[in-house]
């Protein structure tokens, strides 16, 4: 009897854990956006250039290489393959900087959204590392949602959409994160991302 009770308690705990993690998964709402914003986003996501960082100053390049090394060490357990890890971080840096976002914020958001799983799919259909909803491929892309499982495409969409939401909210990151998650005005998701951001901060 005690074994059965323990098993029921364990199953209940696992179910609650699963539901709580799924509740934080991406669920951006399709909403009306100005044509100028839509066209600007479409231009950004269509840019074919590879995600390679370029620096005018040697100090900036050195800082980048320090960041790359430190973040690679932190990510080793989650992404064991070194080549994949470095390609991932190069893309994070490129897309975050391109969108005017802090790399730690983008990494913290991905930790909450997908746990750094490239092929993650939420219960509402959000896809990939940054849990981008498929409708975005129609609104600002080429209409192929399968591409949201491609690393650079997913990061390009995710960073661009987050930047748009930050601008829409007048720089209020708390509300922008809520909008990204489809839970604007609720505390759970922004608080989770902001807490994880601290784990990925880089001290120059």
- The first and second tokens of residue 108, run together, are 């913290």
CB atoms within 10 A of CB 138: 12
Element containing residue 201 per DSSP (H, E): none
Residues sharing a CB contact under 8 Å with residue 198, sequence separation 6 or more, in sequence order: 104, 108
Q: Can you list the domains of the chain with their CATH numbers?
A: 26-199 (1.10.530)
Q: Are the CB atoms for 125 and 145 separated by under 8 Å?
A: no
- Radius of gyration for the chain, computed over Cα atoms and rounded to the nearest angstrom: 18
pLDDT of res. 24 = 54
pLDDT tens digits for range 126-156: 999 999 999 999 999 999 999 999 999 999 9
Q: Write out the DSSP string of 64-78.
A: HHHHHHHHHHHHTTT
When pLDDT is averaged across residues 33-60 and rounded to a whole number, the result is 87
Judge whether residue 117 has pLDDT over 90: yes
How many other CB atoms are there within 10 angstroms of residue 120's CB atom? 20
pLDDT for 6 beyond 60 = no
Mean pLDDT of all residues in 180-188:
90
* d(C-alpha 95, C-alpha 109), whole Å: 14
pLDDT at 200 over 90: yes
């Amino acid at each position: 009897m005690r074994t059965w009770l323990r098993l029921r308690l364990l199953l209940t705990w696992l179910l609650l854990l699963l539901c709580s993690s799924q509740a934080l998964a991406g669920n951006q709402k399709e909403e009306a956006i100005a044509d100028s914003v839509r066209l600007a986003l479409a231009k950004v996501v269509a840019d074919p250039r590879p995600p390679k960082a370029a620096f005018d100053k040697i100090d900036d390049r050195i800082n980048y290489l320090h960041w790359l090394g430190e973040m690679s060490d932190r990510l080793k357990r989650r992404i064991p393959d070194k080549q994949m890890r470095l390609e991932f971080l190069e893309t994070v840096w490129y897309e975050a900087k391109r969108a005017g976002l802090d790399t730690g914020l983008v990494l913290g958001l991905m930790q909450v959204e997908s746990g750094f799983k490239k092929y993650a799919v939420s219960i509402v259909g959000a896809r990939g590392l940054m849990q981008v909803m498929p409708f975005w491929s129609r609104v600002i892309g080429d209409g192929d949602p399968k591409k949201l499982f491609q690393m650079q495409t997913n990061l390009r969409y995710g960073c661009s959409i987050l930047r748009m939401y930050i601008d829409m909210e007048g720089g209020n990151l708390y509300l922008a994160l809520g909008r990204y998650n489809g839970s604007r005005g609720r505390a759970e998701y922004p608080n989770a991302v902001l807490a994880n951001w601290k784990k990925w901060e880089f001290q120059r």
